[in-house]
Amino acid sequence: MSKVAGPSFFRSKNYIMKTVDGEFVYGRHGWTYWLEDFLKLYGSNVTELTTRKDIKHTLLVREREALKMAKGRWRTKVVHIDLEKIKALLMADIKRKRTDSDSYGLVMQQKNTLSEAWNYEEIMGMKSDVGLGFPR
C-alpha cells in the first residue's frame, strides 16, 4: 500500500489522494467529465474548469444529444464549469446529518465537519420531506 502525501477529500466516494511516489489514488462517483480534469481539483484551488464530456448513444441512454446520433456513436463536448457547478457536483448528500454539505468549499478552506446518523425520531418528526425517501 502506498503512503499518502496529501489528500483532497470531498466525500467518501469523491476524493483525490497523492501518494509519496507522486501517483494519484482517486474515487470519482458521479463525475461524468474526463478523469484528467477531475484530478486538476487536487489541492482545491480551481475556481473554474474547462473540461470535456463524452456524449455516447448506448442502449439505455436518455440524454437528448445522444439520442440524435446512431447507436454506438459518440462525440466529445467541451464544457465550462464555474465554481458553483463544481461545488454542486461535489456536494454532500443528505444520507447523514451535517452542518455543512459544501464539500469543495470546506476543502478550499482546509476545514472539515463531522456528520452523524439520522435518528428515527428526528426523521419521523420532520414537517416536510427533505429527500430521505422514508415513508410516512
Q: What is the pLDDT of residues 66-117, one digit of tens each?
A: 889 888 888 888 999 999 988 888 888 777 888 888 888 888 887 778 888 8
Instruction: Tell me the C-alpha to C-alpha distance, in Å, between residue 23 and each of 14, 17, 69, 117.
Output: 17, 8, 37, 34
**Alpha-carbon dihedral sign for residues 101, 105, 107, 109:** negative
Domain definitions of the chain by residue range: 4-125
Predicted TM-score of the model (pTM): 0.67
Dig out the grid coordinates for 136 from the structure.
410516512
pLDDT at 80: 93
pLDDT at 127: 66
Contact status, residue 96 vs residue 116, Cβ threshold 8 Å:
yes
Which residue intervals of 40-94 are DSSP H helices?
Answer: 64-67, 83-89
Q: 65 pLDDT exceeds 90?
A: no
Segment holding 103, helix H or strand E: helix 103-108
